[in-house]
Every structure is written in structure tokens, then in C-alpha cells.
Amino acid sequence: MARAVTIIDVARAAGVSKSAAARVLAQNGSASDVTRQKVLEAADRLGYRPNQLARAMKSGATNTIGIVVPDVALPFFSAVLRGLTDTARAAGFEVLVSNTDNDADIEARSLELLAEQRVDGIVIAPVFQAEPTALLRLAGEGMPIVLLDRRMPGLEELPLVSVDHVDATERAINALLADGHRRIALVTEASQVDSTLDGFALRGGEDADVSMLRPSAQRLVGYLRALTRAGVDIDDELIISTGYTTGESQKAVEEFLAGDPDVTAIHATDTVLSSGTYRGIRSRGLSLPDDLSFIGFDDQDWTTMVQPAVSVIEQPRQRLGATATTTLVGIIRGGTTGPRRQMLAAELLVRGSAAPL
């Protein structure tokens, strides 16, 4: 293998001292215009590349950040990544991305690798687990960390940038309530209403920190709150629990509708569940919005390619990534974190799949 070009090689080719070449290449210290031109031309001719690790050990910074997410293939995270990386590069940082497949062991190895690479900070959408040991250890060692989209007990002190998931679902349900609907079904991967969720749903939980719940559970809280505030009784039978795949959600909706339930509207609380819900509705031969009003989640290509186009709750995905990066860069460069929680509002995109009762 070819030997890496060193500063000594550049200095020799440029006919200057090693210290002069080092000052020019590090952009640190004084050098004449003639010397600078000779060094840069020699470096370009020889293919010199700076040793980033050595530079990091000397300066304490690598100008890189790590991004750890559960699944880069999901439309939500791919859009968030765009916002993260664009903002990071505009701020002078390169990005290392790790995909954990929502596996705690993979997440721990990813964090260890990023620490070994001496990244300046990390944005992470953590895997839910009882003890996020690796994350807590890095935070305890002083690594700047910003949580993305979710947190869990033990990580209360880390800054969080997230969509306001409770408000997002409230917007959908309130829109259906305003159209006169009262029997509104919800498709969710969260558990049925249990004591924990019940405590967050207006009955004693108005000021509770719902960010400790999974996003799916937060959206279920939004459903419960919207109905409770409107004086509509909560019917557990209208909460359709499903696994997190298009096929499972389609099957769950088909089975629900096969029972000829007394519902006039349905809301799906996730990108994947929305496509499954739509398929389930259409497979039962129902027409939108004549037979049933439907509001999905996240603006996907297919939602505007069908007739009628599907009303959706749109998350500010790229802005979410950009805000997380900006927060992290602020910590790295200035030591300031800003608010402990930054909750971004979602938006209801009104189309033709929902109508007044």
C-alpha cells in the first residue's frame, strides 16, 4: 500500500520548513503569500490529506456529530435525517449515521463506536429500555447529547426535541369532532387504555410530563384528551390495537369493520398504520368520506395519489431534524442547551377523505 503523504513530504516538495508547512496546512499562524502558495500547490500535487484523528487529539474537536436512529428506511426518519444533515453541514459538521433496528445492543455498540470516533456530540432517538446504560455513561462523561422524538425514565436531564405527539392527535380528533363525529375509532400500536395512560388523560394528568411515554402512547393520550374535553364518553372498543406493520394494521381494521361497528370516523396515528388502515377500509368496500371519514398520519406520496386525497396530520420532520442539530451545535460551541423540551407543532392538512357528518 502507498505510504500516506506527510507534512514533511509537503515541506520538502515546497522547499519550506516543516513548521511553515504545518502553519499553512493547519491555517494557524502566519506565513507569506508566496510560502502559502508553494505549500498548497505541493499538498495538492502530492495528494496530502490531514490526519483527522491527530488533529482531533490536538484540538479536542473533530467537527463531526453522530446520529443514531431506529430505522433510516422509515419515511419519518429519512426526512428527519435530511434536516439533521443539511443543518449540520451548514454549521461546518460532517455526520456519522447509525441505524439500530430498534435493538438496545446495537444502540450500545453504535454509541461506543461514535465515542471512539471522537464525535463532538450525538443526536439520538433512543431505544426504549429499562436502563439505557450506554447513553447514561456517555452523558456522564460529558458527551453533548440531544434526544430526538422520545425519552424515557433516567434521561430526564437530557434536552429533548420532539413533535408534540399529544397535540398532533388532538388536532385530528378535534377536526372530526367539529364535523359532528362522535363515534371516532383510533388505530394505534399503543396498548389499550390502562392505569398509566388513564392518569395522563385529563383525570389528574393535565400537567404530567407525557414525553416519558412512547410517541404512540402520547398520541393515544391526545385521543383520550380530545374526547374527554368534548364531553364524549371513551369507548375502549373503538381503540384498535395493532402490530407495527401495514399488513397487521390492515387486518386489524378489516376485523374491526367486519363487526359493523357504529363508527363514522377513524384516525390512524402513524405512517405505517395509515397505509394499512386505508387498505382495510377500501377492502371492506367502504367509500371515503361517504361511508366513513378518515384522517391519516404523515404526508406520504400515496395520500395525494388516491381519490379522494387523504387528510393527514403532517409532522414537521425536516424542521425537527434541523432543530435537533441546531440545539446540539449550540451545546458543542457555547455550552448552552436552551429549553429542556422543545415541542414542535404538527399541522392538519385538510383534503377530501373527511367530511361533516
pLDDT digits (tens, 9 = 90+) for 62-110: 789 999 999 888 888 999 999 999 999 999 999 999 999 989 999 999 9
d(CA 298, CA 165): 12
Which long-range contacts link 153-160 to residues 24+ away (Cβ below 8 Å)? 153/212, 155/126, 156/209, 156/212, 157/340, 159/327, 159/331, 159/337, 159/338, 159/339, 159/340, 159/341, 159/342, 160/211, 160/340, 160/341, 160/342
> Do 262 and 301 lie in a common domain?
yes
> Do 78 and 137 lie in a common domain?
yes
> Do 66 and 45 lie in a common domain?
no
The 10s digit of each residue's pLDDT in 253-309 is 999 999 888 899 999 999 999 999 999 999 999 999 999 999 999 898 899 999 999
Residue 221, all three cell numbers: 393520550
Cα angle: 98, vertex 157, 330; to 5 degrees: 65
> Do 321 and 302 lie in a common domain?
no
> Do 173 and 309 lie in a common domain?
yes
The 10s digit of each residue's pLDDT in 216-258 is 999 999 999 999 999 999 998 999 999 889 999 999 999 999 9
d(CA 15, CA 19): 12
CATH number for the domain including 92?
3.40.50.2300
Domain assignment present for 353 = no
CATH number for the domain including 18?
1.10.260.40
d(CA 68, CA 147): 10
CA dihedral 157, 159, 164, 166 (to 10 degrees): -10
d(CA 78, CA 90): 18
Domain assignment present for 11 = yes
Instruction: Give the structural domain span for 270.
Output: 165-316
Domain assignment present for 351 = no
Half-sphere exposure of 10 (CA within 13 A, CB side): 29
Query: What pTM does this model have?
Result: 0.77
> Do 130 and 39 lie in a common domain?
no
The 10s digit of each residue's pLDDT in 142-176 is 889 999 998 888 888 899 999 999 999 999 999 99
Domain assignment present for 108 = yes
The count of domains in the chain is: 3
Residue 321, all three cell numbers: 431534524
> Do 170 and 307 lie in a common domain?
yes
> Do 322 and 246 lie in a common domain?
no
Domain assignment present for 274 = yes
Cα angle: 29, vertex 31, 34; to 5 degrees: 160
